[in-house]
Chains A and B, each alone.
Chain A
Amino acid sequence: MAEKVMVKGNEAMGEAAVRAGCRLYFGYPITPQSELTEYMSRRLPEVEGTFLQSESEVAAVNMIYGAASTGTRVMTSTSSPGFSLMQEGISYIAGAELPSVFINVVRGGPGLGDIQPAQSDYFQGTKGGGHGDYHLIVLAPSSVQEAVDLVQLAFDLADKYRNPVLVLADGMLGQMMEPVEFPEFRDLNTLPDHSSWAMQGCEGREPHKITSFDIDPINLEKMNLGYQKKYREIEANEVRYETEMIEDAEYLLVGYGTMARILGTVVKMARNEGIKVGLFRPITLWPFPYKELESAAEGKKALLTVEMSMGQMVEDVRLAINGKMHVDFYGRTGGVVPTPEEVLRELKKIVERSE
């Protein structure tokens, strides 16, 4: 067993990427994820990798496009305003089907907002974000250890589906320290071979052309149908979620990321007071575990979704429940993190109403 180390979330995600075989990072400093950029700047040279601080997030995402089009593992990390700037490039990357990994350590918005933890970039991450019909695979870790594991998974999914993958964290996860066990270093020789499509020079073969572009509508539609076919496959194979004490539960809490671990504490506190409550935690936000949530909610008296936003994932929760029951929502925003005590009070109101 590997030794446990105490690491900050931001740095842990950087190390996880290095161990996943990522040797290329392009990014721009922004709070609360700058430790990740800084970490890569000192770590990548140690493993003969390349770190480049770009002139902007706009440039960074296009550097990702360039590097990814050569079939090389590559990543960037940023926080909300920076992720907004990257949307143009991400749309191109999704259209050109380039494997790449993005980490958004979300902070309060909109606009300049603040630098405290938030979950108000859910729509942006899961519903497209930029122009066109596309999806990122979106993974939401709730602990530093899970962030490490999901960063690794992110690279593998990106390669498997030739699709950009987003790890949606928040300022709390980026800043907090927790004991972590890192996986072994990936042997670079075992990384997927992308030579059948990537731009690596046309010596001895026909030139490869990579683009999100086709001026002919019929052809562009065909390209889009191709993306959609891939998305259906991802929906069928890659849904991930976790539940806690839902079997005998009368009430269900739904949350993701660090909010979900706070809800884990609420479950314990509530059960100590005799309230039978369970937790449903989507790990993939896209694809969202619609069916799994629908069956988890079956027979429950009420369902409470809690987010560090004014209600974004709750729309997917309502789609999953499809009108079969009332879905309550509680959220704090602007960087305010709901405490377990606060959520428990909300839960009790619902219990009172439902008894």
Chain B
Amino acid sequence: MSENILIAAGFGGQGVMLLGQILATAAMYDNKHSTWLPSYGPEMRGGTANCTVVISDELIGSPVTDSPGELIIMNIPSLLKFEPALKEDGLLILNTSVVDRAPQRKDVEVVKIDANKIAEEIGNTKISNMVMLGAYLEKTGAVTVESVEKALRKKLTGKKAALIELNLKAIEAGMKLARK
């Protein structure tokens, strides 16, 4: 049985919620079970936001966890909050454009991504979340890239549809970086 339990966390506006939704939706297209659970409340407005995504071949019990297997960390407060909880041998993907300090844990795999810089190079800092998602896909293989693309097309409609190609480029760049 394969199971991924991810917490993605950052400032409101960095797109961690969308990242999680795209991932959970892609899992559905891969015929897997998935849940997306956001933190919600006043912190959504500018403070720290996070979501928990569970992807599994089996029916999902808990959509919450004390010990995620994977972290996508987009800011320092989130690193402080979630690093201690990460499972042993877990995966920590860090946006080093924002987080200018090193993680403490030695028993986990750390992948450092200069996500904002890469996003800017592609054309829009707002897609740093997709660079991070790309790195996650490369490291975990939790869902297929085809399904991620399908999820993006489902989610980004109307005016936002023009951004799909840009998002896909960002994902590709993230995957490439994580491969190194």
Contacts and interface: CB of A to CB of B under 8 A. Distances in A.
Do A and B bind? yes
Interface of A: 4, 6, 31-32, 114-116, 171-172, 175-179, 258, 261-268, 337, 339-342
A179 to B, nearest CB: 4
The 4 closest A-B pairs by CB, nearest first: A265-B61, A264-B61, A265-B62, A177-B36
B66 A341 contact: yes
B41 interface: yes
B27 to A, nearest CB: 8
Nearest to A6: B25
A229 B60 CA distance: 40
B53 to A, nearest CB: 9
Contacts of A268: 61
Contacts of A115: 40-41
Interface centre among B41, B65, B154 (most CB of A within 10 A): B41
Given A6-B21, A179-B28, A340 B34 contact: no
Contacts of B62: 261-262, 264-266, 339-340
A4 B34 CA distance: 12
Given A177-B21, A179-B34, A6 B61 contact: no
Given A4-B28, A6-B28, A177-B24, A258 B63 contact: yes
A15 to B, nearest CB: 16
Interface string B12-44: 000000000100110010000111111011000
B21 A262 contact: no
B64 interface: yes
Interface centre among A261, A263, A337 (most CB of B within 10 A): A261
Contacts of A262: 61-64
Nearest to A344: B66
B67 interface: yes
A6 B24 CA distance: 8
A261 B61 contact: yes
A114 B151 CA distance: 33
Contacts of A258: 63
Interface in B111-134: none
A31 B44 CA distance: 13
B63 A261 contact: yes
Contacts of B28: 4, 6, 179
Chain B contact patch, size range: 20 to 34
A176 B36 contact: yes
Interface in B65-123: 65-67
A261 B65 contact: no
A237 to B, nearest CB: 28
Nearest to B26: A6
29 contacts: A6-B24, A6-B36, A6-B151, A6-B154, A32-B40, A116-B41, A176-B37, A177-B21, A177-B35, A177-B36, A177-B37, A178-B60, A179-B33, A261-B60, A261-B61, A261-B63, A262-B61, A262-B62, A264-B59, A264-B61, A264-B62, A265-B61, A265-B62, A266-B62, A340-B62, A340-B65, A340-B66, A341-B66, A342-B66
A178 B53 CA distance: 10
Contacts of B151: 6
Given A178-B35, A266-B61, 16 more contacts: A6-B24, A6-B25, A6-B34, A31-B41, A114-B41, A115-B41, A176-B36, A176-B38, A178-B34, A178-B36, A258-B63, A262-B63, A266-B62, A267-B61, A268-B61, A339-B65
A131 to B, nearest CB: 33
Contacts of B59: 264
Contacts of A31: 40-41
Interface centre among B36, B37, B62, B151 (most CB of A within 10 A): B62
Nearest to B155: A6
Contact of A339 (B21, B24, B34, B66): B66
A341 B5 CA distance: 14
Contact of A175 (B24, B37, B65, B67): B37
A172 B64 CA distance: 9
Contact of B37 (A172, A179, A341, A342): A172
A292 to B, nearest CB: 21
A178 B34 CA distance: 6
B30 to A, nearest CB: 11
Contacts of A172: 37, 63-64
Nearest to B41: A115
Contacts of B34: 6, 178-179
Interface centre among B33, B59, B66 (most CB of A within 10 A): B66
Contacts of A261: 60-63
A32 B39 CA distance: 11
B33 A337 contact: no
Contacts of A339: 62, 64-66
A337 B64 CA distance: 8
